[in-house]
Amino acid sequence: MYEVLVKSDFSSAHRLRGYKGKCENLHGHNWTVEAAVSSKTLDKNGILVDFRVFKDSLEKVMDELDHTNLNELASFKTANPTSENIAKFIFDRLKTKDIIPQRVTVWESDTSCATYFGEK
């Protein structure tokens, strides 16, 4: 099995609705995102996915999130903008005919992250 992973980041604010604690207040993070694709096979050139194509796709999603209040985005009007839900949001946005992620991990700090693997 082969895996290709790309990383990116974005900065945004959010607040967790229904949460009792400091995170219910508006606050920000410098998020780090890792996205991975995997396959048992490679193309005729020995490539799973072109890094540039994969990174460009991820950057387009980061542009949607960067320097926003996540709570104000349509996708997070009802879904709480937790790390878990942000990972799923990014996973779903990356799905194209050429890129189907295996997993997306969202780091909200150096020591805390959430990963979405998709549905099997």
Which pTM does this prediction carry? 0.95
Residue from 24, 59, 67, 72 carrying the catalytic annotation: 67
Residue ranges of domains in the chain: 2-116
What tens-digit pLDDT sequence spans the chain (120 residues)?
A: 999 999 999 999 999 999 999 999 999 999 999 999 999 999 999 999 999 999 999 999 999 999 999 999 999 999 999 999 999 999 999 997 678 999 999 999 999 999 999 876
Asked if 24 is an active-site residue, the reply is no
Q: How many CA atoms lie within 13 A of 50 on its CB side?
A: 7
Q: Write down the residue that tokens 């709570």 correspond to.
A: 71
Q: Is 113 a catalytic residue?
A: no
Burial class (CB in 10 A: 0-12, 13-18, 19+), 97: exposed
What backbone phi and psi angles, to 5 degrees, belong to 5? Answer: -125, 135
**Is 14 a residue of the active site?**
no
Assigned fold of 2-116: Tetrahydropterin Synthase; Chain A (3.30.479)
The residues pairing with 11 across neighbouring beta strands, listed in sequence order, are 30
Structure tokens at 14: 């959010």
Distances (CA, A) of 21 to 16, 17, 93, 114: 9, 10, 30, 19
